Amino acid sequence: MKNLYYFIFLILGATTIFSSCKAYKETVYFQNSGQPIEFKDSAQLSTPEPVLKTGDLLIITVNTITPEASAPFNLPLVPGSTIMKPYNQGATAATSMGALQNFLIDKNGEISFPVIGNIRAAGMTKTALKEYIKKEIYPVLIKEEPIITIRYAEFKVSMLGEFNRPGVLSVNNERISITEAIAQAGDLTIYGQRNNVLLIREDANGNRETVRIDLRDSQLINSPYYFLQQNDVIYVQPNNAKSRNKFFGTAESISISVIGTLISLSSLIITITR
């Protein structure tokens, strides 16, 4: 009879292991991607300026003391929505708010800039692109030294998986650390694997880098992955307990029913044979 109980518990263990493996395969994203990295104990280095990539949307403005001099190098405003002023402000006239047009880095890595023409922006930093535009227009095309500003129209990072508030984060100052991003996403849930966080990053040539990060490592703050870049993706996968919960109502409930039936049957056999 001991052999019978042993057999039942063996089935229980095998069923649990099978359910865990199946749950992992069907719930975890980006499986088998990225290698764990080890951070070295080093001094904090200055953060390199990110390079521009295909698909980036930029706001570029050229300003001079005389507005007419820089006007040809700025895209016209996009007509905005009409806004009615409140009566308590002493006016009811409608005003139209415009917005700056954006420069999209196309699939060839280029932007089409007024007067200058196509510029290969992919692979440049914003500083390098700013200096290139300035060199092209001053003093060749205008005599006043221009002030050129370049900003991302949309600087965002994606937070997926076991966060309390997963989603896409829009960053106004174009600089955010991985800890700040985690804070804005409401921190990890108790089910998130903190030692196996996946970072997906794309370079100027469209190649994607995938690395596994241990958030518990104190040297993370000195690494090139501490500050996030445009369109970075952070994915925190669930631990085994959370993965199994998905199948508790299906595979595991069936397993429990089968095992319960076997135990009842064995008890009946023991009672009859006594």
Q: What's the CATH code of the domain at 71?
A: 3.30.1950.10
Question: Of residues 187 and 12, which shows the higher confidence score?
Answer: 187
Pairing of strands 147-152, 35-36: unpaired
Of the candidate ranges 20-34, 85-99, 128-142, 145-159, the one whose mean pLDDT is the lowest? 85-99
Residues sharing a CB contact under 8 Å with residue 85, sequence separation 6 or more, in sequence order = 91, 92, 93, 94, 95
In this prediction, residue 58 carries a pLDDT of 95
Verify that 197 and 66 share a domain, yes or no.
Answer: no
Q: What is the pLDDT of residue 172?
A: 87
Residue 72 sits in the same domain as residue 123: yes
Give pLDDT, residue 93.
47
What is the phi-psi region of residue 55: left when phi exceeds 0, alpha when psi lies from -120 to 50, beta otherwise?
Answer: left
User: How far is it, in rounded angstroms, from Cα 194 to Cα 239?
Assistant: 9
What is the structure's pLDDT at 92? 47
Domain count, the chain: 3
Q: Which domain holds residue 194?
A: 35-48+155-239
- On whether residue 213 sits in a domain, the answer given is yes
Name the nearest CA neighbour of 36 among 210, 216, 267, 186. Answer: 210
Query: Does 165 share its domain with 40?
Result: yes
Residue 184 inside a domain? The answer is yes
Burial of 196 (0-12, 13-18, 19+ CB in 10 A): middle
Residue 24 binned pLDDT confidence (cut-offs 50, 70, 90) = low
Residues 180 and 44 in one domain: yes
196-220 pLDDT, tens digit each: 999 999 887 778 899 999 999 988 9
Of all residues in the chain, the percent with pLDDT exceeding 70 is 67
Q: Is the pLDDT of residue 253 over 70?
A: no
**pLDDT attached to residue 239:** 87
Distance CA(32)–CA(193), nearest Å, equals: 15
Residue 28 domain flag: no
Judge whether 211 lies within some domain.
Answer: yes
Of 18-32, 153-167, 244-258, the one with minimum mean pLDDT is: 244-258
CA dist 71 and 53 (Å) reads 27
Domain boundary among 103, 121, 152: 152
Statement to judge: residues 68 and 202 lie in one domain? no
Residues 88, 138 within the same domain? yes
Specify whether 39 is located in the same domain as 73: no
- Single residue among 152, 177, 212 that ends a domain in this structure: 152
233 in the same domain as 104: no
In a domain, 178, yes or no: yes
